[in-house]
Structure 1
Amino acid sequence: MDAPLLRLAEQFETPFYAYDLAEVKRRTQELRESLPEGARLLHSFKANPLPSIAEKIRLEGGTAEITSEGELQAARLAGHDMREALYGGPGKTVSEITSAMAAGVRWFSCESWRDLERISAVASLRAADAQILLRVNPAEAPQARLAMTGVESQFGFDESLLLAAGAREKLQLPHVKIRGIHVYFGTQVASVEALTQNTQRAIETAERLEKALGFVCSVVNAGGGFPWPYANQGSPPDLQGLRGALTAVWEASPLHETAELWFEAGRYLCASAGTLVSRVLDVKPSRSRTFVVLDTGIHHLGGMAGLGRIPRSSVTFQNLSRQSENEVTADIVGPLCTPLDSLARGLKMPDVAAGDLLAVPNVGAYGLTASLIGFLSHPAPAEIAYLDGEVVQVWQWRTGHQQLQS
């Protein structure tokens, strides 16, 4: 890993994100081979919407799962066929639905009665049918580090609402076709057993609702939650046996004969491909502590560490400039004017000096676009996609104010 990153550091100012497209390809192939034959794999753009990454996933058979006009534009730049894309999210506006349908999107994950009414209204104006997956919040809690359904949630219909009297009639709106069920239990699902159990629960939910609501279920979107370490060199998941277990669950369902099985993935596809490279600006002793000041911080890597999603002591920093047998205990901080700008506290690491290049692995998902990019108005770091050591594309997230009216 060191050699291509060092070459990039000679060409580009730090900090920057570097993405190995060969790794994206490898992980996408690996996950597809872990799913039942014929299952569709959707790329969750919220994990990383970079067009270079999205294009590589598309070329390996992934389709787009998007939740905003920005992600819609990224998917189009990556060459995705919008007729195959799935548009979701709990707060879709009329403007967003209109833009999506104008771009060719026809598949929507619907989260509430009002959401369904908005989709119907836009589809009616365009005289086009919207294909609807009802996102459901089942009663059962999942096995996941971060539960998104199975608990009180802003996501999806509580299953009880769809099983209640009158629900079937409320779905009869113009230009919407109920095609399937979408269940997303949570993220960082830690084992083959848990992934299989969550998929089985999603399938059983679809079976119940198909019968209760009287529609033909042609899609079961079982979500995903496929895990990967974040910002450290933790052990990757072992998915051995997953394909067989999922296949057995799917083939046991009567829906197997009439429906497609869909899965969503984000971090598993691109987390391992991404590395954040930064430079040490200063090493400052302060009483009993040592602060290592970087040219990056929670505005570039804030999706998890800066917002308290993971313990700050678990971030890995690899020194690309040199090796040292001496060890220091330090707080790793950024350049922002707040004591909250900390990526690690009390971290034991090899000794560092000003000017050293440090790399944080496994940040290809929930890295830059999950961070506090606008805080203090620093420019966004370059995002560099490379393949076999050669730069393929370079991108930069645009920040700053644009005057709309004087």
Structure 2
Amino acid sequence: MRTRVQKALDAIQHESHEPICAYIYDLRGIQEQVRGMLHTMPVHTHLFYAIKANPDPHIIETLLPLVKGFEVASIGELLKVRAVSREVPILFGGPGKKESELRLAIKHNVSYIHAESLLELRRIIAIVNEREEQGRGRSGEEQKSEVRVLLRINLRSNTLPQTKIVMGGGPSPFGIDEEEVEDAIELIRVEGAGKVQLCGFHFHSLSNNMDARLHAEMIELYLQKVEHWQQQYHLQVKVVNAGGGFGVTYDGSPGFDWSLFTALLQQSEAGQRFAGRGGELFFESGRLLVADHGYYAAEVIDIKRSHGQMFVIIRGGTHHHRLPASWGHNHPFQIVNTDRWKHEFIRPELRGERAHIVGELCTPKDRMHSDAEIEQLSVGDLIVFEKSGAYAWTISHHDFLGHPHPAFHYLTEDDEHVNANATFQSAHR
């Protein structure tokens, strides 16, 4: 655990008289990682942050000067980004966009809309027509308002890497089947001419992939497909958004090798041809940028034995950090021993035993780690769950049973520790 995180934990303990339950986000760590990632990327590639991983406004602000822009999957996420910047490029995705969301996305000047179906394309065209009619009504002159789209394509392919979450290459609610590419292009040319600009294609076939070589091969497949469509349909493709899907491991095994991946991109023949035609290759990563820089610290409330097994009960649990329950894994943690004990009666402890780490909810599914090996742990100590920067707080059922929310603390670039709990919670209510 980083020294600056330990210092923040010391300060939190000193400030709090209640059992500790807090998130700590290392903003400086995020910046350092992203700068390193950008340094190895080919010149024609760009990195976007997919804020679904963690839409904390402090993280958005931290990444604003570094990434090309942000990928959002709802109007709520879009407004979070626009609250930080009115100009930063935004990619707007999601398989079930409502007409009201499409109107607001166009109003807020998103850079590209990922069109996920022929019906969605027709809705976009109808909205642009409506805007032109309203413009003529106000000024007496037609006002053009061309919208830029990327067609999200679900490839018919069995060459994609297999991961825990597969989003393409088979039946899926995401994207337009490859067989309908021609229909989508024709729809834009005939009904959307001068209104909807087809700028390129979007692919996002999987999530949490660990194999950098297979990922590079997948990008090569994307670019070869686009090259074929360019020739077949006489297209000028400006952008290929290759999505994200870069994996993070939670069991200590090797994660995604970004340096190897970008080195393979540099060698890609299809990538070089695409760049030579002026094309830009986008990546929209979430988990890889922030997972390693978030920590969830929870104080041990009780330790007890039940039917021969030990249970450690923490202030907090899966209502704050749902990822281990959602993915069915044991979340990595460290123990911080403390002297937080004010009673005269004995302080329960564990030494050299195995135990289940569970939360404060009245459900057996509130489990953060099963059968954990524990060298030494006492009531009042802290369990700090690492790799808690992505898909932790914001995917959780915060208000189940009405327990208080955790505090939120931020480590800035100058190593200052900032408690911005009120600011973050207000953004999520």
TM above 0.5, yes or no, is yes
Matched ranges for 1:218-229 at <5 A: 218-229=238-249
Tell me the residue number matched to 1:389. Answer: 415
Deviation at 1:154, TM superposition (A): 0.9
Question: Identity, % of aligned pairs?
Answer: 28
2:122 paired with 1:122: no
Superposition pairs of residues 255-270 of structure 1, within 5 angstroms: 256-270=276-290
Indicate if the aligned counterparts of 2:46 and 2:281 stay in contact, CA closer than 8 A. yes
SS in 2 for 1:369: coil
Task: Work out the CA distance in 2 between the residues paired with 1:204 and 1:39.
Answer: 16
Instruction: Name the CA distance, whole Å, in 2 between partners of 1:339 and 1:41.
Output: 40
2:82 maps to which residue?
76
Please state if 1:143 is matched with 2:161: yes
Residues 45-56 of structure 1 correspond to what in structure 2 (within 5 A)? 45-56=51-62
CA contact under 8 A between 1:207 and 1:255: conserved in structure 2? no
1:10 corresponds in structure 2 to 14
Q: Provide the rounded CA distance (Å) in 2 between the counterparts of 1:284 and 1:278.
A: 17
Partner of 1:319: 335
* CA–CA distance in structure 2, aligned partners of residues 320 and 5 of structure 1: 9
Question: How has the CA–CA distance of structure 1 residues 256 and 337 changed in structure 2, closer, same or farther, with 3 Å as cutoff?
Answer: farther
- 5+ residue gaps, structure 2, are 133-144, 340-348
Aligned to 1:24: 30
Tell me the equivalent position of 1:103.
108
Superposed displacement of residue 132, structure 1: 0.4
How far apart, CA to CA, are the structure 2 residues paired with 1:206 and 1:18? 42
Post-superposition CA distance 1:124-152 (Å, at most 9, x none): 33342210000001112421422211122
2:93 maps to a residue whose letter is G
TM-score normalised to structure 1 length: 0.89
Q: Distance in 2 between matches of 1:99 and 1:393?
A: 33
- The aligned residue for residue 394 of structure 2 is 369
Deviation at 1:258, TM superposition (A): 2.9
Q: Give the equivalent residue in structure 2 for 1:290.
A: 310
Give the gaps of 5 or more residues in structure 1: 402-406
Q: Is 1:63 aligned with 2:69?
A: yes
Q: 2:373 & 2:50 partners in 1: Cα distance?
A: 35
3-state SS of the aligned residue for 1:264? strand
Distance 2:263 2:384 in 1: 37
Q: Distance in 2 between matches of 1:11 and 1:76?
A: 34
4+ long deviations beyond 6 Å = none
Q: Which has the larger radius of gyration?
A: 2
Cα RMSD (Å): 2.4
CA drift of 1:153 comes to 1.1
Q: How far did 1:336 drift?
A: 1.1
* CA separation of 1:220 and 1:256: change in aligned 2, threshold 3 A: farther
- Give 1:295 deviation, angstroms: 1.2
Worse-matched range after superposition: 254-263 or 365-374: 254-263
Tell me the SS of whatever aligns to 2:12.
helix
1:238-290 deviations in whole A, cap 9, x for unaligned? 33333231022144434641311111111111111100011111112111111
User: Against the structure 1 CA distance between its residues 254 and 293, is the aligned structure 2 distance closer, same or farther, given a 3 Å change threshold?
Assistant: closer
Of 346, 362, 376, the match for 1:337: 362
Shift of the 393–197 alpha-carbon distance from structure 1 to 2, 3 Å rule, reads farther
Q: Secondary structure at the match of 2:53?
A: coil
